[in-house]
Amino acid sequence: MKVVIVGGVAAGPKAASKIIRMRPDTDVTVVEKGLFLSYAGCGLPYYVSGEIKEQKELMETPAGVVRDAAFFLNVKNLKVRNRTEALEIDRIAKRLRIRELATGNESWLPYDKLVLATGASPVIPPLPGVNKKNVFTLHGVHDAEGIKSALAMQKAKDVVIIGGGLIGVEATEALATHGCRVTIVEMLPQILSMMDRDIARLVENYMESKGVRVMTATKAVALESRNGQEEFVSHVRTDEGDLPADMVILAIGVRPNTVLAQKAGLAISEKTRAIRVDEHMRTSDPDIYAAGDCVESTDRLTGLPCFVPLGSTANKQGRVAAINICGGDESFPGILGSTICKVFDYCVARTGMTEQTAASLGYDAITALVPGGDKAHYMPDSKILLMKIVADRKTGRLLGVQVAGPGEGAKRIDVAATAITAGMTLDQVAHLDLCYAPPYASAMDNLITAANVARNKRDGIMLGISADDVQRKIRNGEDFLSLDVRSPQEYATVRLPNSTLIPLGALRRRLTEIPKGKEIITFCAVSLRGYEAALILKAAGFADVKVLDGGMAMWPFEKETGQKMQGHSVP
């Protein structure tokens, strides 16, 4: 059997390796337009920052062997033709026309099965000046080298990143590590559009505390030059004014590479513009498979088509395609969009639906915002993790989880992804038998606590109110009591505007100070004491009592709300 694979970065090499393992007698050829094979594209920001010292580390196996053409031939018995472009698929004759970029020579490769792993390309906006020499994406090794070169020569002190998605956010730390003044320009109202706004703004707030300027709801208009150096950008013109720029990084997102598939008449999704495949990774031609960033996926929760390009997905899809090419019966069930990134010392991650998505699909979503330590609070290295949980009020089914903060978020998101895949409810998640030891987790893990808070809200035991809703009340001049039940020391350090302090330990004996006919919103640092206070007030006959979701840890910061915090900033 002859198998030709177009694409040599993620899905392609995975499919090729699995085919050889299953059918060692298969004649497999990998065609790759670029020079580098099977490199870790997700590691590029850390190569730019210097955390990864050498380029070759991005292309090495765990044993330290570089995955080049010789490696694939000697170890895998795969023929790799890099610096070779795939031009045309002749589906009738079952052959692929290729061109060697070094010589320009063209030839045909016959195949029994063809795999398209053509990946995706960065979106280049139609801005004037976008082709200037100090404008980069961060999509390949070539761009990473260009950025590193500019940083090494100290030519990039002011850097503008256009786009506040994963790529832009991950690139920020790498640039800040080199002492750059970084500005993110994002056209949408928030960065990280795959997160809900209340979590995304916490990340934005944290980035600004690290010296990064974040400009949301701002549109880049042109990349302009001054002082006669027309080849280089000197500033970025936006609808909010000009930004100095020694370097510009375009991080708007990626589009699937489908030209080869389209020319061959393969089915392309109208919604995602990616190659349409079935659960076996077959295209509309049964002898042509596709995998990785060029294909459309299916959302496991909704069953709807989606496009979420990730290296993890590409590798899994490549393996599924290989098994089916070799006569197996393997299905790729879809994705939950599980995503994680490092933002300075913050872990930012999500899986499943956001609250916004759930609402748009008609769910009556119940949410809980729960900050808490990732380990027992008395452990010296315990760090806060800010968690949001989303569930269906009607069925109790867990729909999504998001985290942000310096605490350990990866394992919570992985557990959540498993629970969502299994169709678990809040009640089931609340009783998961998770590991506990003080150096690793609290007795009640963050995810379990979040599920319990959501259950309390569902069952009417706790009535929560979001920081956004409290802000709206303040703006509208509504009459309510903002009751802070922290200690006087905490209150003196930082407090919400126009709040009243009654520490939790003193609340029962000071109930007469609280007007019964007024709406009361209780809170503390994370609203655990706020919840206790609400229970005390309700037991004493106060009718309209709410708890600020997530407490002060989830309070919006000054730039977005216009509401100044009294005292110092909330950490």
User: Quick one: DSSP state of residue 92?
Assistant: T
Residue 22: φ, ψ to 5°: -85, -40
Rounded CA-CA distance 441/294 in Å is 39
The CB density around residue 78, as the number of other CB atoms within 10 Å, is 23
Rounded CA-CA distance 9/33 in Å is 10
Please report which helix (H) or strand (E) contains residue 392, including its range. Answer: strand 384-392
Structure tokens at 156: 């990039």
At position 570, the amino acid (one-letter code) is V
| Measured CA distances, 5 to 260, 360, 509 (Å) | 13, 39, 75
Of 322, 317, 257, give the one whose Cα is nearest residue 32. Answer: 257
Structure tokens at 434: 């998770």
Rounded CA-CA distance 462/537 in Å is 12
Tell me if 198 sits within 8 A of 468, measured CB to CB. Answer: yes
Of 383, 372, 381, give the one whose Cα is nearest residue 444. Answer: 372
Of 478, 525, 480, give the one whose Cα is nearest residue 499. Answer: 480
Strand partners, 350: 339, 402
Please report which helix (H) or strand (E) contains residue 214, including its range. Answer: strand 213-215
Q: How far is CA 512 from the centre of its chain?
A: 48
Angle between helices 410-421 and 446-458 (to 10 degrees): 50
Rounded CA-CA distance 148/177 in Å is 12
DSSP character string of 36-74: --S--GGGHHHHHHTSS--GGGGGB-TTS-B-SHHHHHH
Instruction: Kindly tell me the burial class for residue 483, based on how many C-beta atoms sit within 10 Å of its own C-beta (0-12, 13-18, 19 or more).
Output: buried
Of 373, 383, 387, give the one whose Cα is nearest residue 444. Answer: 373
Rounded CA-CA distance 110/97 in Å is 9
Which residue in 42, 306, 435, 524 is the catalytic one?
Answer: 42
Of 118, 116, 96, 115, give the one whose Cα is nearest residue 107. Answer: 96
| Measured CA distances, 245 to 149, 161, 252 (Å) | 16, 9, 17
At position 25, the amino acid (one-letter code) is D
Spell out the alpha helix ranges (H) of 126-227: 141-152, 166-177, 197-209
By DSSP bridging, strand 297-298 and strand 305-306 are antiparallel
Spell out the alpha helix ranges (H) of 361-409: none
Using DSSP's 3-state secondary structure scheme, residue 23 falls into coil
Residue 33: φ, ψ to 5°: -70, -35
Catalytic residue flag (residue 341) = no
Q: Which residue numbers are catalytic?
A: 42
